[in-house]
Structure formats: C-alpha cells, structure tokens
Amino acid sequence: MSGDAHKAGAEALTALLNQAFSALGEKEYAAAAGLLTKKLMISAGQTVEVMRALRDAVGKDIFEAQLKSLTAHQARLLARRLDKSVPDIEVSTAGAACAWIRDLMDGKTP
C-alpha cells in the first residue's frame, strides 16, 4: 500500500471514529474493530506482545470472538508464529490452537 493510500485509509477511519456519520452505532464500531482484529491475527509477523496489546486495545470480548472465528489452519499458523516450538499435536484443532494461544498470552508456558 502506498503512503497516500495508507493516509487516505487512516483519514477515513478517523472520520468514522469522530462520529462524522451519526447512522453508525456501537454495534457497527464493534464489528469494524472485529474485522481489523482478525486481519491482524492472520497477518504475518505477530508476536505474543502484539497480541496482548491488541487484546488490551479491543477488549477481551472482541478479541475472543475473533480468535474463536479463526479456521483451524489460521489458528495453527498464529500459534506457530507466536511459539515456533509448539508441537503439532498441541495445535491439531482450532480449539487446541486457540487454547495454546491463550496460554501464551496469559504467560502460562505449556
């Protein structure tokens, strides 16, 4: 993405967040936060610290909803990005991978 396109996108989000459009309510803002949260979860280069900051920024409800919505493949990839040494058996399902991710984020070393 070019610098101008990034700037235009950021300006659009700023306008929305400044409630320039009164038709948008809390539900729509939560949905938008969820979409951006999921996009960050499935993008490369994530760390445990980034995921903690993301959870703190959007709140546990939105974060958990997006974590649970990941496919098994997406959840496994995120778990492996956060912990390169995770055994395959520990992240064999979406639920197991999400549990592993939660433990890492909560400082519980499995």
Neighbours of 63 (CB within 10 A): 23
In one letter, which amino acid is 27? K
Task: For the chain, state the CA radius of gyration.
Answer: 16
Whole-model pTM: value is: 0.82
Q: pLDDT digits over 27-65, tens only?
A: 888 898 999 999 999 999 999 999 999 999 999 999 999
The pLDDT confidence band at residue 102, using thresholds 50, 70 and 90, is very high
Q: HSE-up of 103 (CA within 13 Å, CB side)?
A: 14
